[in-house]
Amino acid sequence: MLAPNPSQHLESETTPFGNPLYDSAKLNRALGVLIDRERPRVSKEFRNNIETHIYALNHPKIGASAHQSQRGFASIIGMRKHIAGLIAFAHQVDPSYARLLYSNFNQIDWSR
């Protein structure tokens, strides 16, 4: 006798409103990390967010001051620590990807 397929069981459960109790697309994601392959990786949304920060901060027409006010950070130091934390998180999941991020992050001119 075959063991029941756990994902099939989860998809068949519903809320009192008839919606699926578990979204099968979210079953492979934990804390913004995709775990659907042999090695975990950061999600596309996470990559887009951090790469947008780094792009804007390195862009000659934007820079740290404009990006900080546009994104609603209270200070440049707070924004810098936030982005450094995102990169540190990425490093825990995918060190090779984080090396590229660290390289670009270290080129930012925080004085403009």
| CA distances, 97 to each of 37, 38, 41, 58 (Å) | 16, 16, 9, 18
pTM check: above 0.75: no
Q: Hey, where are the domains in the chain? A: 1-27, 31-105
Measure the CA–CA gap between 23 and 61, rounded to whole angstroms: 42
pLDDT score of 56: 96
Which secondary structure element, helix H or strand E, spans residue 1, and what is its range?
none
Per-residue pLDDT tens digits for 57-112 = 999 999 999 999 999 999 999 999 999 999 999 999 999 999 999 999 999 999 98
Residue 16 Cα to chain centre, angstroms: 32
Averaged confidence pLDDT in the chain: 81
